[in-house]
Structure 1
Amino acid sequence: MPESPQPQDTRRRRAFEKEALPHMQDLYFAALRLSRNAKDAEDLVQETYLKAFRSFGRWRAGTNFRAWIWRILVNTWVDVCRKRARGPKSADLEGQGMEPEARQEAPSLLENPGALDACVGDDVLRALHALPAPQRLVLLLADVEEFRYRDIARILGIPMGTVMSRLHHARQKMRELLWDYARRQGYGGEKKEAR
């Protein structure tokens, strides 16, 4: 007869589920943007949750759980990238962006992850892919996921000034790259040259 879980284990599992499950959809979309592949995104989220559960005792109640679990996701993604860099090349792990309007389409995107590309125009995807990976990641965390600067700094393990600098340069580059696209969409104004 199998042993029943200890009450303490059950409480720990329930506490983890209460904190972690509300973030699953956002983590999945981030993983999908990073991996650009539904299966890899699922694996990345699964590994993130496994690591988070194993180290849940180190998370301090009352602190920002969202930032904590995102840090685990980013670190797990970096580990995957390093492993793939050492091994055979099989997938491009560069980040992929999603416009805020696409977040409202979440249920259909979960059912059909390929629909993500339809939510973001080709021009926007090309512009995002043109950014250096560190700038793209900061831009996505700030403008899509709406993290505060200090949380991004904590997630990525970099100074807040670096976050602000990368975000500034990423936004500036996006403005340059998307100027013609914005004009075609009916947005006006004078083009400002980059300094």
Structure 2
Amino acid sequence: MEQIKDLYAQEAKDLHWYAHSRPWIRAADASDLVHTTFLEAIRAWGKVEPLGSDERRRWLRQVLKHKAVDLWRKQKVVDLTADDLHLPPTPGDETGRRVELVIALTSVWRAIEQMSPRRRTVASLVWGEGWDGRRVADHLGLAESTVRGHLREARLQLRASVGHLVPFIDDEEEQESA
């Protein structure tokens, strides 16, 4: 038991930081996930004890990640199927792929909700409704350059917060290739 206490003293702070760094883990759940992860380490100590420090750290992070997915599934944050996303079935681990997509989608919505109301409206009209910049500018009483600026900043915010989860196609690159 002393070894578990030592492991907790060495790794708990970094593991807590790791939980907070995952965009799909709610900050309120981070501490509980760390404690649940160490409970799992106690249960699996025969497997964890012989590991080196780096392997233990990786094992703890992997367990925390799995516990977070379990928690996320229980909370049913978003209940989507491949049909809802209009995706063709994929070979391999389809359930894992669906979870990744739903986590990414949830993270995108959280990032959009954190944008200023004006930027969120501009992005929704252009990306969600398919309006062009001129129509948005006329509708909102803005200059077209202001609309372009909001879209550029919205894209940068999304890339910064969820770019590691979602591949982005640059609107400007699309327009140039059209």
Do both share a fold (TM > 0.5)? no
Q: TM-score, normalised by structure 2?
A: 0.42
Rg (Cα) greater in structure: 2
Q: TM-score, normalised by structure 1?
A: 0.39
